[in-house]
Amino acid sequence: MWIGFLFALGAGLMWGLVFVAPLLLPDYPAAMLVVGRYLAFGLIALPLALMDRAALRELKAADWLEACKLSAIGNFLYYLCLAAAIQRAGGPLPTVIIGTLPVVIAVISNRRNRARDGLLPWARLAPSLALIALGIACVNQTELSQLAAKPQANFQHYLEGALLAVAAVACWTWYPIRNADWLRAHADRSPRVWATAQGLVTLPMSLLGGALLLGLHSAGLPPLPADFSLPLGPRPWAFVGLMLAVGLFASWVGTLCWNEASQRLPTNIVGQLIVFETLSALAYAFTLSGQAPAALTLLGIALLVSGVWWALRIKPQAATKPGASSKA
């Protein structure tokens, strides 16, 4: 349990780096960051695949198809929906919606996977979920206040952004549950190899996405500005270096740590540990800005940590089979 907890913590620390890239490269459109991140992930996976080529050859066609689905939905579609939501509605509203992920995943997993992982008693799980939900609300209170202070904002844009953020939540609710299904069904397989396999399939996807961006730019169509200098933008060395760093740490190492956690922990527990991504992103953002978090933000962080600690103390119970008699 605690080894899985530490791996989930490592995944959160790595995934938090994803939120740093737009801050360090504000002159790069989100679509360019998406393609750059996963192109780097795919290229980094190539030498790693050589090291694990024997284990990768053992994967069947169905396994590679599953890796494609996971990468397409959990990587590309999720990040595109999130980036587009922020572009349409700004940061506050999508952040609040995405912040519900730990609660959504925990609730769905506790119902869906009770036969495999055991059922976390709802009475004991409720305080954990309440603490996490309250912590998310506290952390995002400042952003919500800023959103409320803009009565002149375009309602249609906010509605579109909200719908895109909900789509992002759906993508990343589906991803960890399906990913955990494969890992738990293949307990003899290495989580590292599975992370590399997902990296490999992102390579052709990112190349296709890059070609699409080039074609749209040549035709004078969005999402890239007309004066954007291709192929690497206005700061090529900064872009390449940061994409390689994010591709290695946030994509491969983060996926590896998450796979290790998913193979050790019930999905209804590991889903709540996504809060580490939020906490890491906050820590990195405050470090970059040089500002200390507000008292309400610190309270929210304390509530999030308390909720996770509470959840880890809950022991799953064997699910009662439908129609089973209560008599001995």
Q: How many CB atoms lie within 10 A of CB 145?
A: 10
Measured CA to CA, the distance from residue 214 to residue 217 in angstroms comes to 5
Helix/strand/coil for 119: strand
Query: Cα torsion for 154, 156, 160, 166, to the nearest 10°?
Result: 90
Computed on alpha carbons and rounded to an integer, the radius of gyration of the chain in Å comes to 20
Residue 291 gets which letter from DSSP?
A: -
CA 318 distance to own-chain centroid? 29
Say which amino acid occupies 138: C
Please give the pLDDT value at position 152.
64
Contact yes or no for 181/266 (Cβ under 8 A): no
Contact yes or no for 294/142 (Cβ under 8 A): yes
Q: CA 109, 112, 116: angle at the middle one, nearest 5?
A: 90
CA-based nearest residue to 93, from 31, 169, 165, 19 = 165
Digitized pLDDT (tens) for each residue of the chain, 328 residues in all: 789 889 999 999 998 887 777 778 878 887 888 899 899 999 999 999 999 999 999 999 999 999 999 999 998 898 888 777 776 776 556 766 777 787 788 788 877 877 776 677 788 778 888 888 888 788 777 666 766 676 665 667 777 888 888 898 899 899 989 998 999 889 888 899 999 999 999 999 999 999 999 898 888 878 888 888 888 888 999 999 999 999 899 888 998 899 899 888 887 788 778 888 877 877 887 787 787 777 887 888 888 778 877 876 777 776 565 444 433 2
CA atoms within 13 A on the CB side of 277: 23
Q: How many CB atoms lie within 10 A of CB 148?
A: 10
Please give the pLDDT value at position 9.
92
Tokens 């009565």 label which residue?
151
CA-based nearest residue to 125, from 272, 231, 235 = 272
Please give the pLDDT value at position 53.
93
